[in-house]
Amino acid sequence: MVLRLKEQNHSSASSAPVIDTPSIVRCVIDDIRANGDAAVRAYSEKFDKWSPASFKLSQKQIDDIISTVPQQVLDDIKQVQENVRTFALAQKASIKEFEMEIRPGVYLGQKNIPINSVGAYIPGGRYPLLASSHMTILTAKCAGVPHVTACTPPIAGKIPANTVAAMHYAGADDIYILGGVQAVAAMAIGTETMKKVNFIAGPGNSFVAEAKRQLFGEEIGIDLPAGPTEVLIVADQHADPFTVATDLLSQAEHGYDTPAVLITTCKTQGEKTLAEVKRLLEILPTADVAGVSWEKLGEVIVVENLDEAYRLADEYASEHVQILTQEPREALAKMSNYGALFLGEKTCVSYGDKCIGTNHVLPTRGAARYTGGLWVGKFLKTVTYQEVTSSQESGELGRLCGRAARAENFEGHARSGDVRAHQYLSDKFEWM
């Protein structure tokens, strides 16, 4: 049995004007491809009212900006970055390079090579997202990426000083005050003043996400598909409705299109949570945003038992899944589709977003069914190599290659194997 105490309301969404985001993004990208810096400047002026002499900050500008940031903020940035660094380096240590001899004189190996250059997009807009600096720039540096170009937009025509500090301490090699599609396209294509990168990471609005999608493959690699933030909470009858409601709204404040879902085994729990959400929205400073998301996309679902709750949660494949039950670690065994799990009432999604050390760039819109989130391994190319030093084994492989290739009608491949079989085992072939 599934009982929905609150249905999603899409009426306001359906009445909104339709914006052809792909076409807009395509036009911007094509213009920047053709006109470089001039187009970048034109779009920055148009969208952000921002046109400095140089979008790139000099070291003196960075130092001056950081000098305006309160010491407590700087100390907190460094503490959070140490958490992120510790976890990212542990992840890197778990990815092993190896070499093995599968037969006498036949060696196969694996190496992990950092991407040469990475672009990090740090969103701004409504909120200065310092934490995205830690998650993208710092994680890339932990992977060993030699050069990271970082872009963040101005906020209301001003440089976001706290974000610049976070970008600098994370290890950005170049910092640009530049946002939107123009930033992503400039990094991906390269301009007269910005070097082309090989890979772009970081969240952003629908236009940024579409730019990454369009540029993926031909120009750059990207971290993962990204969309609006999502939160799903699985709660039993023992969870505190006040905590549940607070944690739902903590994510709903991200934007006007954030799904916030509660799946519970207790109808009373669901009803009390709904009442708490209503009360909290009356006092939450960001209720003008969170309330819209809750009204449009909030859900409270009652199921018969926790097994059903975990099964339904897997169907949602949410970005953030919070487990507020008496035995939260059950979810590790019973769930498989999520961006990140947050286990127990002492843990909240906001810890992952801001400070605990795991990465907050996570799959949305069901992408958790096939990928995890951003991690140090995304900035590494795992490559293989092979070497045959035994004449006998090279000849035997040549024979095997010849038979395997001819079974697929690849005569050229077969002859490459034939050459080794001839050289090292004296085999004769009519084509020679």
Active site residues: 319-320
How far is residue 241's CA from residue 253's CA, in Å, rounded to a whole number? 18
Identify the sign of the CA torsion 300, 306, 311, 317: positive
> 320 near 232, Cβ under 8 Å?
yes
CB-CB neighbours of 18 under 10 Å: 6
How far is residue 370's CA from residue 380's CA, in Å, rounded to a whole number? 19
> 72 near 346, Cβ under 8 Å?
no
97 Cβ partners below 8 Å, 6+ apart?
A: 109, 110, 111, 112
Q: Is 217 left (phi over 0), alpha (psi -120 to 50) or beta?
A: left
How far is residue 137's CA from residue 193's CA, in Å, rounded to a whole number? 20
48 Cβ partners below 8 Å, 6+ apart?
A: 153, 154, 157, 179, 180
Which tokens is 325 given?
Answer: 């039950």
How far is residue 44's CA from residue 183's CA, in Å, rounded to a whole number? 9
**363-402: b (≥16 Cβ within 10 Å) or e:** bbebbbeeebbbbbbbbbeeeeeeebebeebbbbbbeebb
> 364 near 225, Cβ under 8 Å?
yes
**DSSP state letters, 91-147:** HHHHS--EEEEEETTEEEEEEEEE-SEEEEE---TTS--HHHHIIIIIHHHHHT-SE
**114-147: b (≥16 Cβ within 10 Å) or e:** bbebbbbbbbbbebbbbbbbbbbbbbbbbbebeb
The conformation of residue 49, written as its DSSP 8-state character, comes to: -
